[in-house]
Every structure is written in structure tokens, then in C-alpha cells.
Structure 1
Amino acid sequence: MSEVAPLISDLAIILIIAGIVTVIFKWLKQPVILGYIVAGIMAGPSVSLVPTVSDPANIKIWADIGVIFLLFAMGLDFSFKKLINVGITAIVATVTIVCGMMFIGYTAGNAMGFSHMSSIFLGGMLSMSSTAIVFKAFNDMGLLQQKFTGIVLGILVIEDLVAVVMMVVLSTLAVGKHFEGKEMLESILKLAAFLIFWSALGIYLIPTLLKKIRRFTSNEILLITSLGLCLGMVMIATKAGFSAALGAFVMGSLLAETVEAEKIVHIVQPVKDLFASIFFVSVGMMIDPAMMWEYAVPIFILTLLVLSGQVLFGSFGVLLSGQPLKIAIQSGFSLTQVGEFAFIIASLGVSLNVTDKYLYPVIVAVSVITTFLTPYMIRLSEPAYRFIDIHMPESLKDYLVHYTSGAMTVKHQGTWHKLIRSMLVSVTLYLVVCVFFITLYFSYVHPLIRKSLPGMEGNLLGFIIIFLVISPFLWAIIMKRNNSTEFRKLWTDNKFNRGPLVSIVLVKILICTIIMMSIITHLFNVALGAGLVVSSIIIAVIYFSKRIKKRSLTIERQFMANFQGTDGNGLSTESDTGSTLGSNIPFKELHLADFTVSPDSIYVGRTLKESSLRTLFQINVISITRGEKRLDIPQGEEHLYPYDKVTVVGTDRQLESFRTSMEQKKVERNGNGTSSQDEMEIGQFPVEGGSPLIGKTIREADISDSIIIGIERSTVNIMNPDPDTIFKENDTVWIVGKRKIIKGLNKD
């Protein structure tokens, strides 16, 4: 008899324990995430009261998959457009938090007698909040539509990017015992190039691909395709030296720009829930209650530092970026936990043998405790804000109102500033794409060509291939923004502007010439002078070529259509009203949020006028997205249908009331649930002598909520009878309807 593999038996143990514990926590009205951690402690090797896992290494594998799917789901919910909308706030807050927590962690480590290197690593660990835990807590608490959650998720995403750079810096510091500025700069540039290239390529390719194959895809195929793309980007990210979580988030963000985003979220949800639960259970399994007692004092001190430091620096950073005090406090209280990147940084220190051995279990314990407290800290933010608002001096309150209102106002920017900024963005984007394509060509394609076609012929073929690929992007580098409103205004306003403007264009031409010259000299081994001449001629051809111009504009048009969520015909597939209206809303408490109408919502089939959303909740419906089309500013006669995405504007309180109402099901409104008597089934009933149906047509009988699919008679069987068919004595009628209706007909 074969035995069950440890991987399966361990998975069975943790899921059974997690199921029992989370039911208890749900009954106690506690966050489910806390139940997972308690289940992990119970299933871990440190507790012998219940069966424990035999090989914790297997659970680590499941947990890694859980982190991937959590970040993938977060990317699906938090697209690039949303990240751009909170970009400045997230950057300012992240810099404030990381710098402040690094200082606190290093100081506390030295004060508690940790080694110099352990103190540096400790600062890095304490500065990283948990994307997975916060996202799960927001989801469980129904807060994802509130204004501050978008800012918090933006901060967490940028913290994850900072963590990647931090690991490179800490590795360099651990090996060389000093900072290597060159290594740090290279890692930052490499990360930026990776994100720009794959984001641009993904936005161009993936939505287009899904549109073309949409009619061939079922839920099963879409699920497999989505998970395959997610894991494919994970492999690309890890090959490039970045984290798997970063790759999963990037792919989720790319799929969020597609017409299938809502469906992908729906079908991926069960997979994400399974592996996410295993991840949180694995966090609990890392904790040893005995170890917590042994290092109780450092754990207690570090826990207090995380809670107070994240609240202080998080709130201050968000406030500094120009957000209102309430949003700042809610954001700061949401970041009070040590994240999964802290485990990675701690493991890095252990593998390099530069940190104290007890640092890893201590930071895991702090992470578990702060994870426990995360939902309660989020709930505490409201009363904390009310307390501060009541006791704050009026002069300081007026100053903060003036500061945040001024910071959120769009300031006038000089024409030169706008032109330089737009040119810098476009040149950087296309330059990164060109460099990546050239790198990929010389790393993978060129060796294959040289192997099968050596000599000049192979080099010439290779040059043609790389030229065809990058020429549209070189044209864009040279020409983009040369005919913009700002460029023309500066050119006509003052003749002294023309020299700098021409110089800018020449610099862009020079950049393209250098790129082309590097390719030519590498392939054909010519002198720099000859390479410069040939490159200049080729760039001139690119400049004047109408075909290359057309290809470049086509690529850009498709990219922008995918990024903006349109289907190429001007029909939006993604609610982009946040970018067009968000900065013009006059009331600082208002913000936009998206809600999906579930099939059993009480609003299904109702018109907006019948739903009275504005009267009941004081919200305004901005748009309704249905499939590939979006209806902006819908009228009162517009109906709501299942899976419609409704974009509304309101305050956090108004949106929360609307969300609660949206989740109310039709059966709840009628005061009863779905019972076995309401289920649909196929049944039959006889038309006996004396039945009131004899002599009546099917239409006259008016048997409600059912369909007559057949009639058996002694001489003939009638399938799908006509509504004018007359019932006769001794007929046997086959019907599809609710069970209680069929039982009633049989009694009659």
C-alpha cells in the first residue's frame, strides 16, 4: 500500500487546522488573517498539542507561491494608472518612512548590544511594511474602496522596489564593509530599466493579445493563461536578479489594463485565497513561543518601535506630500507591521554570515506580533484622528488645512519646464526600450545567427533584424514633442528660444547616432569615423522615412489605446475618470472608487433612478463599464446589470455605506434565504378528471415561474408545446420550475 507524500499530508494538516481556527475567529468577529497565524503556530514544530507538519521546507514552497499570487492579485486591483495618481504622495511618504525607520532601527540595535552589521540590517528590516498582509487586511475589512487605501498600497509598492535596491546595497556593504556607490547606482538603473521596458512591452502586447483571442477563451483557458503569464514574469524577474513578488505585481498591473481584468480577478480569486492562506499559516509556523519568551525584551522594544515609528513617519510623510490629516493618520496606522521583505533581508544577512544568529527569530516574532495588531491599528486610526483633531490648536489646524489645500492645487508650470519634462519622459522610455532590444539581440539572437551563418552575411542579416526592430523607436526619440504646443509656442514667442530648441533636437539625434554607431562598430568592426558617417546616414534615412514614421505612430497609438483602456475605436474599457476628474474635485474628502455589481445584488435590473443612489448615499455615478464599452455620466434610465463596473464619487463614509448596500443580496431584502423549495427542477403532474386545467390552453392556465416542456398523451408525445395547446384529461405534463410549485400542481 503506497504512503501519502509528506507534501500532501503536511498540506492536509495545515488546511484542516486553518479551516477550524478561522471558523472560530470568524464566529468571534476577528480578522481571518489572525486565525491563519494562530493556525500556523499550532501546526508548527514548536507546538505538540496537535499534529504538526513533518517537513516545514515544503510549506515554504507553498508560502512562496502564496506571496506570488497575493502580489499578482494586488497588481490586478492596482493598475499603473492608479499608481501614477498616487505617485508623488507614495514617493514622498516612502522616502520619509525608510529614512526614519532605518535610523531608528540602527540606533535601537546599537543600544541593545547588536553588532554594527546586525544594526544596519535591522534598520532595513524595520523599514519594510507588508504588502501582502495589508492588502489582505484591507480586503477582509472591506476598505479597498476608501481613499487612504490607494495611497497605502502605492507606498507599499514603492517600498517593495526600494527593498530590491536595499538588498543589493546591503549585500555590497556586507561583502566590502563599505558602500559602493557604483554598485548602488547600477542596481537602481537596472531596476528602473527593467520596470520601464517590461511595462511598456507588456502594455503594448498583452491587452492586444487578449483582445484577439477573446472569442476563443473560456474561464478555464483565461485562468491558465493568466497564471502562466504571472509565473512567466516571475521567472523573468528572478532571472534579472529581482524578487518573484515584483514580477507577479508587474504582470498583475499589466493584466489590469486589459478588457478581461474583472473576469481575471474573479477566476483567480479561489487560487489566490488558497495559497495566500498557506502563506499566512507559514508565517505563524516560524514563531517559537519559547524563543519569544527568551528574547521577550528585544521583541517588545522592537514591536513598540515599529508601531510608533511607522505611525509617526508614515503619517508625517503622507501629510508632507499634501494629503489631509485624516488620510495621513489612516495611512500611518495601516503600515504598522514588519513585512515579508524583512524575512528576505534577514535571510540575506544569515547567508552572508554577517548578522547575529538570533536576529532572524527576533524579527520573525516582531513580524507575527505586528501582523496580529495590524487590523486593530487600522481600526484605531479613526479614534486617533478624532482625538488629535479635538486637541490640536486651532492655529496649527488652520495651517495644515491651508498647506494641504495649497499642495493639492495644480500649480502653473513654465512652458520650458513642461517641454523638457515631456521630452525627458518620452526619450527615456524609448531609449530604455531600444537598449533592452539591443541587449536581448546580442545576448540570444546574434549567437544563433553567427552559428548558422558566420561571417559578413550573418552580421548583415543581424543588422537588418535589429534595425527593423529599433528604427520606429529611434524615430520617436528624434521626433516626439518637436511639434508640440509648447515647442511651437517657444519657437514663435522669442527668436532667442530657437537656438536651445534646435540644440535639444540635435542632442536627440546625437543619442540615436551613438546607438546606431555602437551596433555598427560591434557587428562590422569598423573605425569610429567610418561608423559615425554610416550611422549619420542611417539616422537621416530614419528621420525622413514615411514608412518608419507610420510604424512608429502605429505602435504608439496601440500602446496608448491599451494604457488608456480603449478598444481602438474610442470605447473605453477601463474607468479612467480617476485621472481626468481626480485633480479637479473641489472637496478634499471626495474621491473615486469602482464597484462591481454582483449577479445577486439588489440593484440588478434596476435603473439608476429606481436605485436612488444619490438620494440614499449622496454619491454620484460617474460611469458604467460594461464589457468593452463605457458609458460616461449615465442618465437615470440606465439599468444596472451583473458584472457592471460602476465608478462613483463620494466620501469614505458614503462609499462604505454604498458598498454595504451593494453586497446585500436580493433574498435578504425579501426576508428569507434560498431553501430547497426554491430550487429549480424537472417534474411532472397528471391532468386527472375534474382538474381545472381541462379545456384550457397553456397560455390560459398561466402557470407562473415555470416552463412546460412536454405533454404525454395516449396517442402522441408533444415536445415544447405551443402556448395554444389545450390540456386534456389523462395528460401527463412535464414541467421545469421551482420544487414547491411542482408539488402544488401534483396536489391539485
Structure 2
Amino acid sequence: MHNTTMLLIELGAIILGLGVIGRFAGRIGLSAIPLYLLAGLAFGHGGIFELSASEEFVAIGAEIGVILLLLLLGLEYSASELVDNLKTQYPSGAVDFVLNATPGAVAALVMGWGPVAAVALAGVTWISSSGVIAKVLTDLGRLGNRETPVVLGVLVMEDLAMAVYLPILTTLLAGVGLAGGSLSLIIALGTVGLVLYVALRHGRLISKAVSSDNPELLLLVVLGLTVLIAGIAQHLHVSAAVGAFLVGIALSGEVAENTHRLFAPLRDLFAAVFFVFFGLSTDPGNIPPVLVPALILAVVTVVTKVVTGWYAAQRAGISPKGRLRAGGALVARGEFSIVIAGLAAGVAAEIRPLATAYVLLMVIIGPLAARWTEPAVRALMPRLVRVPSGTAGQSPPAREEPGIPSGTTLRADSPTQP
């Protein structure tokens, strides 16, 4: 059969399958990400049936998926919001980094994968999934809870940290030596800083230049600009994902809202393709040897994320029940962990299957932790939940009344939704 014919058949089957999988995930109340990964494992190298004709096309679609994921994530925040969050949330961000990056780094070193793999696996275990968490908070009706801005603040800190972490990781993975690596890192961080400065000072001018009342023209201009900047960023060892993220930050106001509305369906499609491609590229036979480390990492990082949420909510004066809800909500990992593992697959072959198993576990555990952490701890350790959040020299415990501060938003139209 002609190669183009097979390409169309396989591509049509993949997209149709994604639709069926997404609908099924919605029916059972789960994120579709683990099912997308499982589908990729089933039809990739070493799976039940290997797709060959569409592999290159799907790889390009997966790259576009990462770019659109980060573009729309950047649209969630303005440069000024990122700076404000950095000023107020940096202690929580530091605790989040130490508690959740350390288990991944230690695991990589213990397994003998080397320091570069340790940096990569640290990122896999560190970053929570904004998409899954937004979906879970919406489903549980917690968007108005007092701890929700705290959860959002931690996620914003992680997103901002990615703009620094990914260039560092990309430079390390390039293996260009100490002098060349230092130069590449300076260029990468300088580029990130310059774009943030331009977005902060001249974001309105950029938005005005891009703005168009014609949806078709807006889509073409923003997509072209994003892919162009992503390509230039990757050439400078900043990572295409961060380039797209910075473009999203630079756009604001009505342009950002219109762009989000136009690109959300495209993001959902290509993000699903990305998760499937990651599964296609992973041999299922490589997962059993790393399943035990993945389970250990899952258990440890569930605890560390709950502690992170407790600390962040305590700083905001939230009561113990709200602190536990905040910690449980932060457990899920997803898109960023897969992106990082995909970048680092060449350093240690085991990173890809380990990350796949880990994300599968955490995407399933995440919604359960968000729902059951607080009642489970209340049942097992009632005294802990009753401890007042105010101590000598601190403000009294906050009430559990709902209400997100003015200006705080949390979109739930993520690629994890059916």
C-alpha cells in the first residue's frame, strides 16, 4: 500500500482513538494523560502493533504539542504577575524545589546514571501538572476555596522556574564542555531575562502589534511568531518550550484572551499527540525493571508535595484542613515531567520508561490525593488537623470561607480535559 495512504490511515486512527480515549477518561473521572501514554505504549516500539508510516509525522506533531502547551501556559500570566508571585511566593517555591527535586536527583545518582541525569530526574519529580490540578480543583468545586490561590502561587513559581531550569538542562545535555557550556548558559539566561524585561516594559506594544480583529490573521501571526521564537530559542540552547512560554507571557489583555480561545482546541489535539508519541517512543519491556524505583519515588514525592502545600498554606494563614487540601492538590505530575524526560532520554536510556511509569502513577494518584488527603489525615491524626495555625507572634487561623482574591484566575480548559 502506498506510504501516503498508510500515513492517512494511521493518523486518522490515532486521532479517532484519542477522541474515544478522552471520552472514556471523562466517563470514569480520570485525566486522559495516563490513557494516552498507555495507548502509545501499546502501538509503539515493542508494543502490540507498531505504527511506522506515521511515526515521523507524529513526532513533528508532538513537538508542536509541547510548544502550544507552553504558549497557552504563558498566556495564563502577565510578566508583572510573575514578578509579583516571585516576590511573595519565593519561600514556598524554595521549599517546593528542595523537597521535590531532591528525591529524583538522589534516585538518579543511586542508580548510577550520572549528574546530568540527576538534574533531569530532579525536574521530573519536582514539577506538578498545572493542567491536571486545574481539572481536579474544578471537579471538586474548590476554585473558591481560600487555599486555591496558594496552590496557584506554587504552580506559578514552578512555571517561572522552568524558564531558568530548562535552559540549564538543555545546556548540560548539549555536552559542549565547561567553557562552551558556561557561554551557552549565559546566553540562555540572558535571553530569558531580556524577553521578560521586554514583556514587562513593552508588553502592551507587543500585544498591539500582534492584535487583529480577524481570528484567522491572529492565529497565523501568533502561531508563526511562536514557532519562530521557539526555533531561535532552541538554537540558543534555551529550549523551544521556554521560547513558547515567553511568547505567551509577552501577550496580554484582550489579545491573550482571544489567542487562548483560538489555540485551546489546537493545544488539546497536539498535546494529546505529544503524550501518545512519548508512549510510542518507549518500549514497554523497559518499564518492569524501573517499576520499583518509580513506585518508591511516587510514595516519597506524594509526601513531599503534601508537606509543600502545608507549608505554603501555613504562610498564608490557612487552617490545617486547608493546608492538607493544598498539599493533596499539588501531588499530580504530568506534562512537564514528560517534556523533561523526553529531552533527557539520550543521557540515560532508563529515564524515559521510569518517567512514563512515574507519571502514570502520579496522574492516577493525584486526583485521589486531592480528594482524600484531608479526610484521611483527619481520621488518622485528628490532633494534627485541630492544631490552630496561629502561634505566638503569628496571625490567627483563617476561616475556611471561600473566596479567591481579586485578579486571581485558574483556567481549567487544559489538555487533560475530555
TM-score band by shorter chain is 0.7 to 0.9
Partner deviation per Cα, 1:461-514 (whole Å, 9 max, x = no partner):
xxxxxxxxxxxxxxxxxxxxxxxxxxxxxxxxxxxxxxxxxxxxxxxxxxxxxx
Q: CA 1:149 to 1:319, structure 2 compared with 1: closer, same or farther past 3 Å?
A: closer
What is residue 359 of structure 1 aligned with on the other side?
351
> What letter is aligned with 1:247?
G
User: What is the Cα deviation at residue 127 of structure 1?
Assistant: 2.4
User: What is the Cα deviation at residue 62 of structure 1?
Assistant: 1.1
TM-score by length of 2: 0.78
What is residue 370 of structure 1 aligned with on the other side?
362
- Asked which structure has the greater CA Rg, the reply is 1
1:420-499 correspondence to structure 2 within 5 Å: none
Q: CA 1:164 to 1:296, structure 2 compared with 1: closer, same or farther past 3 Å?
A: closer
Q: Is the 8 A contact 2:334 2:359 kept in 1?
A: yes
What is residue 237 of structure 1 aligned with on the other side?
233
Partner deviation per Cα, 1:124-172 (whole Å, 9 max, x = no partner):
4422334555456667777667534522431331231242254167459
Q: Within 2, Cα distance between the matches of 1:137 and 1:279? A: 21
Partner deviation per Cα, 1:690-713 (whole Å, 9 max, x = no partner):
xxxxxxxxxxxxxxxxxxxxxxxx
Q: CA 1:268 to 1:123, structure 2 compared with 1: closer, same or farther past 3 Å?
A: closer
What is residue 105 of structure 1 aligned with on the other side?
104
1:543-582 correspondence to structure 2 within 5 Å: none
What is residue 590 of structure 1 aligned with on the other side?
403
**Which runs of 5 or more residues in structure 1 are unaligned?**
409-585, 595-646, 657-748
Aligned partner (choices 240, 243, 247) of residue 251 of structure 1: 247
SS of aligned partner of 1:78: coil
User: What is the Cα deviation at residue 19 of structure 1?
Assistant: 2.0
Aligned partner (choices 270, 277, 284) of residue 272 of structure 2: 277
User: What is the Cα deviation at residue 323 of structure 1?
Assistant: 5.2
User: What is the Cα deviation at residue 89 of structure 1?
Assistant: 4.5
1:516-535 correspondence to structure 2 within 5 Å: none
User: What is the Cα deviation at residue 293 of structure 1?
Assistant: 2.1
Q: Is the 8 A contact 2:128 2:330 kept in 1?
A: yes
1:128-139 correspondence to structure 2 within 5 Å: 128-131=127-130, 133-134=132-133
1:553-702 correspondence to structure 2 within 5 Å: 589-592=402-405
What is residue 206 of structure 1 aligned with on the other side?
206
Q: Within 2, Cα distance between the matches of 1:209 and 1:29? A: 42
Give the percent of matched residue pairs that are identical in Structure 1 and Structure 2: 23
What is residue 333 of structure 1 aligned with on the other side?
328
Q: Within 1, Cα distance between the matches of 2:176 and 2:396? A: 45
What is residue 15 of structure 1 aligned with on the other side?
15
Q: Within 2, Cα distance between the matches of 1:192 and 1:30? A: 35
What is residue 312 of structure 2 aligned with on the other side?
318
Q: Within 1, Cα distance between the matches of 2:274 and 2:174? A: 30
What is residue 164 of structure 1 aligned with on the other side?
166
Q: CA 1:136 to 1:42, structure 2 compared with 1: closer, same or farther past 3 Å?
A: farther
Q: Is the 8 A contact 2:322 2:400 kept in 1?
A: no
1:21-100 correspondence to structure 2 within 5 Å: 21-48=21-48, 52-100=51-99
Structure with greater helix share of residues: 2
Q: CA 1:197 to 1:116, structure 2 compared with 1: closer, same or farther past 3 Å?
A: closer
Q: Is the 8 A contact 2:187 2:236 kept in 1?
A: no
Larger relative contact order (Cα-Cα within 8 Å, sequence gap ≥ 6): 2
User: What is the Cα deviation at residue 392 of structure 1?
Assistant: 1.6
Q: Is the 8 A contact 1:67 1:276 kept in 2?
A: yes
* Matched residues, number: 406
Q: CA 1:202 to 1:386, structure 2 compared with 1: closer, same or farther past 3 Å?
A: farther
Greater CA deviation, 292-301 or 333-342?
A: 333-342
> What letter is aligned with 2:57?
N
Q: Within 1, Cα distance between the matches of 2:176 and 2:124? A: 15
> What letter is aligned with 2:240?
A
Q: CA 1:311 to 1:22, structure 2 compared with 1: closer, same or farther past 3 Å?
A: same
**Which runs of 5 or more residues in structure 2 are unaligned?**
413-418
Q: CA 1:590 to 1:323, structure 2 compared with 1: closer, same or farther past 3 Å?
A: same
Q: CA 1:54 to 1:249, structure 2 compared with 1: closer, same or farther past 3 Å?
A: same
> What letter is aligned with 2:309?
S
SS of aligned partner of 2:244: helix
> What letter is aligned with 1:360?
R
> What letter is aligned with 2:42?
M
Q: Within 2, Cα distance between the matches of 1:88 and 1:37? A: 37
User: What is the Cα deviation at residue 373 of structure 1?
Assistant: 2.8
User: What is the Cα deviation at residue 208 of structure 1?
Assistant: 2.9
Q: CA 1:364 to 1:26, structure 2 compared with 1: closer, same or farther past 3 Å?
A: closer
Q: Is the 8 A contact 2:132 2:363 kept in 1?
A: yes
Q: Within 2, Cα distance between the matches of 1:236 and 1:319? A: 39
User: What is the Cα deviation at residue 330 of structure 1?
Assistant: 3.8
Q: Is the 8 A contact 1:14 1:43 kept in 2?
A: no
Q: CA 1:263 to 1:45, structure 2 compared with 1: closer, same or farther past 3 Å?
A: same
What is residue 259 of structure 2 aligned with on the other side?
264
User: What is the Cα deviation at residue 63 of structure 1?
Assistant: 1.4
